[in-house]
Structure 1
Amino acid sequence: MTSEPVVALPGNTSDLVSVLLACIRTERKGRLALVGGAVRDALLHQVNRDPHQELLDIDFVFEGSCFDLAQRLQQMLGRERLSHLQLHQNFGTAELQIDGLSIDLARARTEIYPAPGLNPLVEPGSLEKDLARRDFTVNAMAVLLQPDGRRLLMDPHGGQEHLVKRQLAFLHEGSVKDDPTRVIRAARYGARLGFRLAPEALSQLKSTLTEWPWTWRHGDPVAAVPPALGTRLRMELDLLLDQEPWPEALGLLQEWTAMPLLDPWLQCDSRLKRRLGWAVRLGLPAMAAFVAAASDPVALARRLQIPEQQQRWLEELIELRSWLLQEVISHPWAEWTALDWTQRIEAGRWSAEAVALAVLDNPPCRRSLLCWWGRWRHVVSPISARELMAEGLRPGPELGEALRQARAQLLAGMR
């Protein structure tokens, strides 16, 4: 621990720290520390001259009751400055918004993993133990906020050294075994910050995946999957695809041979990044496009518990792929008109999203599928129901058939 003033945060954080310290002095209970990305990024700015990162939220850890501290803050600041307060009893945390700045306040804790990949057992602990439970050394630093205003850097795991080297190092030998979501997190940070895995971290990753210490394997029932290979893995993947430079992040996962955490096929998929690029152009959710490239998209979707609507698209995609293989490939599809394609696709009742996902497969008939998705499905009858009724047709099956025939004539002349 050093006493140098290592962190200079932008904005009104100095005032925020003063308010928090005033509350601590009142009770004289527990230590308070700034943790997480704010510390890492501030040190990156100082050590490597990286530009200041925008602070979307700030994380504090407190050796005491976060609820008591939050309530004291509310009494001190009032609702005008503390505009949002939400307490999470089960986790011992609080979310606040003070002067427009989002703050996460958590009680210092220790974690024990009862088995690889399961959720950890959590108990209150010290700041030192709280830092020891984290993912990488560069995220296991804190700035201890002293009542007298001093800011002491806590770096018990050598995070500063890895910052200088721009490396991600796990905190202990069982980090990946305990929580494989840390691998996805490594790709996120690596892509965003330009970091690489430290040699010992890469060795741990590869040896752990080779050993596969988790009770669940590919092909086992989805209900038996541990959280760190299921829903928690999806949460990290969501962040990677939604908030990070995902082409670089996916490239890192393939470089590290880490894709088998999700699906073995994804490891050797040279078109994966191109597939997701097309998904963005077509307005498809990146997660659905990613899962569609797996050996068994439906099984992976259920394992990750992606939204049910996207699971239905993937189920339709499997049917559509089968139809394309059995029906289209064996027929002169190149001579089909817009009407031929439209009638066949709409007879299958496949959603537009399922067809768009099939486009990402890059089949021989890709252009025709893309034309249906982009143009042909939007074609409507050139004559309206009101006009047909004015000509004497009554509402009912005959009117509907007349509208379909008019639309079909229009499609028959399109290519």
Structure 2
Amino acid sequence: MSADLALQIWSRLRPDDRAWLVSLARLAGPDARVALVGGAVRDALLGSTPLDLDVVVEGVDVEALARATGLPMTFHPAFQNATVTLPDGRYADLVRARRETYPVAGQNPVPAPGTLEDDLRRRDFGVNALALTVSPIGPAAVLDVTGGLDDLHGRTLRPLHAKSLHEDASRLVRGARLAARLALTAHPELLVQVPDALKLAGQTPRVWAELKLLLAEPRPGAVLRTLRAWGAGALLPDTTLLDTLDDLRGEGQTVTPQSYAAALLHASADPDALAARLELGDRPAALLARACSDTFYPDGTPERQLRALLRPDAYVPLTGRDVLALGVPPGPAVGKALAHLAGLRHAGQVHSADDEQAELRSYLAGKRPQRGP
């Protein structure tokens, strides 16, 4: 069975990724262990082609191995890990097999050398604690020391130990992202740990990083809905706007992460503080301001898309082309006419394009010079 699963995972990998893993195992030497771990193994077993490669190595110096690949790399001495840039521009992480302890909940763990099995046990959820060991000739075996295969078969998201979300509350958001993306059901043990995770969220900086990653998910609204169902909806403003944007994306419309972020800011009681915590920058707030303005934006733009949700009664105001067609002469008169209409909109005196046309005709009638008899 393990051999069949190993071949199933291996067949899902890209040919160039298979070749790279084999070369890595060859470079590591006969006394080392090299294993593809985590999301790549999970996704391959679920039938998709993994793009992100996380590799755990045991019995070999990670920095030396990364340099031996001949690829651009960055070494991270605190955890003895390396990030390698693959020929196509993707990144692969080389991780020294380790154990971890959390002296202070919510803060960075303290690593110590360990075995491949130790490394799998330190992870967040069973579905992320699977490994495919690799030899110089190809796949060796699937390693499951936590029951992750059963979780994957049952589509269950189970934390690996009773203090998992206490030690790192960001796992709560990461779990919601996984559950929404992969249609996983929360294990009862996960739900038991949610209140403790919420208490510690404020002292876990990684929570905000995970919440920002939520905006890049295929269905951010589904992630927020999952958090609410787990009793953790208070981490973000309560809004159904993200669900509506999910629906638009499902219909084939382009919906950017900036649009999702703008929708969250609109629902927030303190949008500036939320933008700062999520490190959103200025773009979502600027997009929101444009969407809430009366400035014309064409169909298909994020501004027009958001405006339809935030101001369903809004109409498309007259443009320069429209006022020219209604008889305004080219030149400064066009700007003056548009400014006049904008003033009426801000004063709430026009409520449709027809109202604007009528007001413009009155405006033009009053401005035209009287002709002699």
Q: TM-score, normalised by structure 1?
A: 0.66
8 Å contact kept, 2:75–2:83: yes
Q: Which of 30, 33, 38 is the aligned partner of 1:31?
A: 33
Instruction: Establish whether residue 142 from structure 1 lines up as the match of residue 142 from structure 2.
Output: no
- Superposed, 1:198-217 pairs within 5 Å as 198-205=187-194, 207-208=195-196, 212-214=198-200, 216=202
CA distance in 2, matches of 1:282, 1:147: 44
**Alignment deviations for residues 79-127 of structure 1 (CA, whole Å, 9 cap, x no partner):** xxxxx52323355212232588753322223333343333333444332
Gaps in structure 1 of 5+ consecutive residues = 45-51, 75-83, 217-224, 321-340, 347-351, 389-398
Q: Which of 289, 301, 315 is the aligned partner of 2:275?
A: 301
8 Å contact kept, 1:111–1:120: yes
Letter in 1 for 2:19: D
Shift of 1:7: 1.7
Shift of 1:215: 7.6
Partner secondary structure for residue 118 of structure 1: coil
- Superposed, 1:115-194 pairs within 5 Å as 115-146=104-135, 151-194=140-183
Shift of 1:154: 2.0
Partner secondary structure for residue 134 of structure 1: coil
8 Å contact kept, 1:7–1:39: no
CA distance 1:184–1:282, change in 2 (3 Å): closer
Instruction: Establish whether residue 94 from structure 1 lines up as the match of residue 43 from structure 2.
Output: no
Shift of 1:381: 6.7
Aligned to 2:346: none
CA distance in 1, matches of 2:145, 2:53: 21
**Alignment deviations for residues 56-98 of structure 1 (CA, whole Å, 9 cap, x no partner):** 2322111233321122222xxxxxxxxx523233552122325
Aligned to 2:235: 261
CA distance 1:247–1:353, change in 2 (3 Å): closer
CA distance in 2, matches of 1:408, 1:189: 50
Aligned to 2:207: 229
CA distance in 2, matches of 1:282, 1:58: 27
CA distance in 2, matches of 1:289, 1:201: 29
CA distance 1:101–1:309, change in 2 (3 Å): closer
- Superposed, 1:242-261 pairs within 5 Å as 242-261=216-235
Aligned to 2:25: 21
CA distance in 2, matches of 1:188, 1:311: 24
Letter in 2 for 1:236: L
Letter in 1 for 2:62: C
CA distance in 2, matches of 1:378, 1:68: 65
CA distance 1:124–1:289, change in 2 (3 Å): farther
CA distance in 1, matches of 2:322, 2:259: 27
In the comparison of the two structures, how many residue pairs are matched? 327
CA distance in 2, matches of 1:54, 1:169: 23
Q: Which of 293, 313, 330 is the aligned partner of 1:367?
A: 313
Shift of 1:134: 1.4
8 Å contact kept, 2:124–2:160: yes
Shift of 1:186: 1.9
CA distance in 2, matches of 1:132, 1:313: 43
Letter in 2 for 1:175: S
Partner secondary structure for residue 310 of structure 1: helix
Q: TM-score, normalised by structure 2?
A: 0.72
Shift of 1:167: 0.3
Shift of 1:353: 7.8
Letter in 1 for 2:313: R
Aligned to 1:53: 48
8 Å contact kept, 1:66–1:94: no
Aligned to 2:101: 112
Aligned to 1:47: none
Letter in 1 for 2:26: A
8 Å contact kept, 1:302–1:311: no
CA distance in 2, matches of 1:248, 1:215: 21
Shift of 1:33: 0.9
CA distance in 2, matches of 1:311, 1:114: 38
**Alignment deviations for residues 272-316 of structure 1 (CA, whole Å, 9 cap, x no partner):** 5126656967865212212322333222222212122324566x5
8 Å contact kept, 1:131–1:141: yes
CA distance 1:262–1:125, change in 2 (3 Å): farther
Shift of 1:40: 1.7
CA distance 1:295–1:67, change in 2 (3 Å): same
CA distance in 2, matches of 1:22, 1:183: 38
Letter in 1 for 2:49: E
CA distance 1:114–1:306, change in 2 (3 Å): farther
Letter in 1 for 2:279: Q
CA RMSD, aligned part only? 3.8
